[in-house]
């Protein structure tokens, strides 16, 4: 905007709607003695080393009627203050806080003429000259802020950890709330669409498709609810689970090593357990697809295997026949 004017001594930039003093601007006027930027919208600046770079001759600084709320020890370089004779900051509504302590102390000790100093006001209309916080009180405020922020961060971190580790329990409780809000109707067995709702993880879907569906649906005529096949597209997954369990007489969870690691499988199992224990609206008949060590079992899976009748899959021909007979008998008797 300006080319270097090495002999310029007075610069008036008033009533121009300026909202900040441009960085590396004043160094173009090495002999500048008076700078007036009154009646603008200038806000506080932080880095005086850039704002007043190479300014060594300034004697009068006029910044009245702006929006300067605070001035710190870094706002104006000491090399500028050493040569300054007059400063005017009238009608800047200062924020009277501990951040303004340096400026308040400087006003009391400086030899610079501060125009209308007794009329400087805080935002709350208190006169700046009457604002007298002690260093101790400011330290206490800083300590309170630090403790408060630290506590808030700690609470947020703790809440995040709790939510992460309990996310499925939380999700299950949300399911219960949604169920009550939607007022799910418990269907009688003679209105059920499916004989069994099958819970399985994706890694075991091939076995479900090639073995379970073929044997139970194709050859024995029982209709199964298979999420990959029967869930409604675009519907909330949790709602799909509940609605299709309501249309089923029993639930068949296909336990495997992958099952206990799959969060959606565990969520569906929790829903089934809730309907079994709280509503008594269906039964659960577990299938053990492969041997899983107890230490790798989820607590819910372990309780089913320990307390419930279940069918264990095997490649042995006699064991297979027993496996399918157990499932068939359960489906016939529900």
Secondary structure (DSSP) of 104-130:
HHHHHH--SEEETGGG-BBTTS-BGGG
10-136: CATH superfamily: Ribonuclease Inhibitor (3.80.10.10)
Q: Which two tokens stand for residue 106?
A: 């400087």
Q: What is the phi-psi region of residue 234: left when phi exceeds 0, alpha when psi lies from -120 to 50, beta otherwise? A: left
Spatial separation of the C-alpha atoms in residues 192 and 257, rounded to whole Å: 31
Instruction: Looking at the chain, list the stretches that DSSP marks H as alpha helix, in order from N- to C-terminal side.
Output: 48-51, 78-83, 101-109, 135-165, 167-182, 205-207, 227-230, 237-246, 263-274, 299-307, 317-333
Q: Which two tokens stand for residue 176?
A: 């219960």
At residue 137, the pLDDT reads 63
- Structural domain boundaries in the chain: 10-136, 185-333
| pTM for the predicted model, two decimal places | 0.47
> Which residues is 122 bridged to in the sheet?
94
Is the CATH number of domain 185-333 3.40.50.10140?
A: yes
Which residue reads 């329990």 in tokens?
A: 169
Spatial separation of the C-alpha atoms in residues 169 and 126, rounded to whole Å: 54
At residue 181, the pLDDT reads 57
At residue 13, the pLDDT reads 94
At residue 115, the pLDDT reads 93
Spatial separation of the C-alpha atoms in residues 314 and 204, rounded to whole Å: 15
Q: Which two tokens stand for residue 193?
A: 């669409």
Q: Which two tokens stand for residue 46?
A: 């932080």
> Which residues is 283 bridged to in the sheet?
250
CB of 20 within 8 A of CB of 42? yes
Q: 255-288: buried (b, 16+ CB within 10 Å) or exposed (e) per residue?
A: bbbbbbebebbbbbbbbbbbbeeeeebbbbbbbb
Residues (pLDDT < 50) of the chain are: 183-190
Give how far Cα 61 sits from Cα of 2, 12, 107, 116, Å: 19, 10, 15, 13
Half-sphere exposure of 9 (CA within 13 A, CB side): 1
């Amino acid at each position: 905007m300006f080319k270097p004017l090495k002999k310029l001594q007075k610069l008036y930039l008033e009533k121009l709607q300026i909202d900040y003093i441009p960085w590396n601007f004043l160094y173009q006027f090495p002999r500048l003695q008076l700078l007036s930027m009154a009646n603008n919208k200038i806000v506080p600046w932080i880095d005086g080393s850039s704002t007043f770079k190479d300014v060594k001759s300034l004697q009068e600084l006029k910044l009245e009627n702006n929006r300067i709320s605070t001035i710190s020890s870094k706002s104006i370089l000491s090399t500028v203050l050493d040569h300054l004779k007059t400063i005017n900051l009238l009608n800047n509504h200062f924020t009277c806080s501990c951040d303004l302590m340096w400026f308040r102390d400087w006003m009391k000790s400086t030899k610079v003429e501060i125009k209308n100093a007794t009329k400087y006001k805080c935002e709350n209309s208190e006169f700046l000259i009457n604002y007298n916080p002690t260093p101790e009180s400011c330290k206490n405020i800083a300590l309170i802020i630090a403790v408060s922020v630290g506590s808030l961060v700690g609470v947020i971190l703790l809440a995040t950890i709790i939510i992460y580790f309990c996310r499925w329990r939380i999700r299950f409780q949300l399911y219960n709330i949604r169920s009550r809000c939607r007022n799910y109707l418990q269907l009688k067995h003679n209105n059920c669409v499916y004989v069994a709702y099958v819970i399985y993880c994706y890694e075991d879907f091939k076995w479900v498709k090639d073995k379970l569906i073929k044997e139970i649906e194709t050859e024995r005529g029982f209709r199964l609810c298979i999420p990959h096949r029967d869930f409604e597209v675009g519907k909330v997954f949790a709602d799909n689970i509940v609605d299709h369990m309501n249309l089923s007489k029993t639930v068949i969870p296909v336990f495997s090593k992958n099952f206990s690691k799959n969060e959606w499988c565990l969520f569906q199992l929790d829903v089934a357990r809730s309907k079994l224990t709280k509503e008594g609206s269906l039964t659960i008949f577990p299938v053990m697809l492969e041997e899983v060590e107890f230490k790798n079992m989820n607590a819910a899976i372990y309780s089913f295997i320990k307390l419930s009748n279940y069918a264990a899959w095997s490649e042995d021909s006699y064991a297979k026949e027993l496996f399918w007979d157990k499932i068939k008998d359960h489906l016939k008797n529900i």
